[in-house]
Amino acid sequence: MDRLLAGQATASNGSLTVVALAAEAGVHRMALLRRHTDLKNEFYERVRTETRQVPEPERRLRETFTKLKETVARRKAEIEELRQLVARLTLASAVLIHDDDQQAQRPPAADNVVPLRRPPT
């Protein structure tokens, strides 16, 4: 841990990650992640305090979270737009059905008369 934080890695690429910490310690990374979570947490805490950096996994998680929030916002806007479209189409359908009923109730026009339709609104 001290070698990584000092920038003097010998067995890893020197990145401030648990993978590099495991390589420096000579253990498998899963052993560090599952059995020694206290060391992993201590390492990330020291990365935050001593180097004033955000640990890589946390940075990636924050980026993913930001992207997901943007995706959710876009989906919500799309859903709202589709709801408004459904409402407009329902109203248009009701108007067409009403107009069709009105025409069915009118007496037939003379052969030389063309009925005028109302302009669409």
Q: What is the pLDDT of residues 40-53, one digit of tens each?
A: 889 888 888 888 88
CA 54/CA 49 separation, integer angstroms: 9
Q: Which two structure tokens, joined as six digits, stand for 120?
A: 């669409």
17: containing domain: 2-53
The pLDDT value given to residue 117: 76
**In-domain check, residue 41:** yes
pLDDT at residue 14 above 90?
Answer: no
Instruction: Tell which wins on pLDDT, 90 or 99.
Output: 90
Question: Can you give the pTM of this predicted structure?
Answer: 0.50
Q: What residues contact residue 24 under an 8 Å CB cut-off, 6+ apart?
A: 1, 3, 4, 9, 10, 11, 12
Asked if residue 68 belongs to a domain, the reply is no
Provide the pLDDT for residue 58: 83
**pLDDT surpassing 80 at residue 109:** no
Structural domain contains residue 73: no
Task: State the total domains in the chain.
Answer: 1
